[in-house]
Amino acid sequence: MKEYSTAKQVTSAFLHRRKGRWNTKDILVAGMIAVVFAFVQLGITYAFMAASASVGPVYARLLNGFWFMSGFMALSIIRKPGIGFISQAIAGIVMTPLTPFGIMILFGALVNGLLTELVFFLTRYKHYSFPILAIGMCVLSIVYTLLEFGPSGYGGLALPVQIAILATSAISGAICGWLCKRLTDSLLRTGLLSGYSHSRT
């Protein structure tokens, strides 16, 4: 009886490890998500630049959350460690030759990928509900903005403006977290994500 119990535990551990490994389908799905959102993020990048110049950084930061969409979508669908980073990295590679920032876009995408993985690492890759997506992207959006305070010169602005920039960044993250959950559920209903039905929770 004891030997049977031990064998069962070993088998369970093996299956758990296998479940966490990427397969070809995972890479293809992550890649497709990355390419789609690379062009979304490309448009957002130019929109952000235009908004910053015309209406100021407070309103421009409402676009923040979209820069995390690729990684969050990939992880909310595939649910395997590292897949969010891979998706963000692929998106960054696609975007690199199409923006005036060059390799810095790829560097930013890699940082975003690491931050995205951190959110789900803290939940042990077990929770993908709307609150996790919204709060996680909200926090990352704020962190992303804080990292740009120096290069963007936000530190020299009036304190109320700085607070407003952080507030709109948080709002953007929460909205994009909600959008990520809605998009995932909508894709599941179409049947295009056969094999990933667990993403409904």
**Which is more confidently placed, 194 or 199?**
194
Give the ranges where 55-158 is alpha helix by DSSP (H).
57-60, 69-78, 83-95, 103-122, 130-147, 149-152
* pLDDT, tens digit, 9 for 90 and up, residues 104-119: 999 999 999 999 999 9
Cβ pair 164, 58 in contact under 8 A = yes
pLDDT at 170 over 80: yes
* 2 vs 115: CA distance, rounded Å: 43
Mean pLDDT for 45-60 is: 93
Cβ pair 66, 182 in contact under 8 A = no
* 53 vs 51: CA distance, rounded Å: 5
Per-residue tokens: 106 = 């790829």
Q: Please state the pTM of the whole predicted model.
A: 0.83
pLDDT at 177 over 50: yes
Cβ pair 80, 125 in contact under 8 A = yes
Extents of the domains making up the chain = 23-196
- Assigned architecture for domain 23-196: Orthogonal Bundle (1.10)
pLDDT at 135 over 60: yes
Q: What percent of the chain has pLDDT over 70?
A: 88
pLDDT at 37 over 80: yes
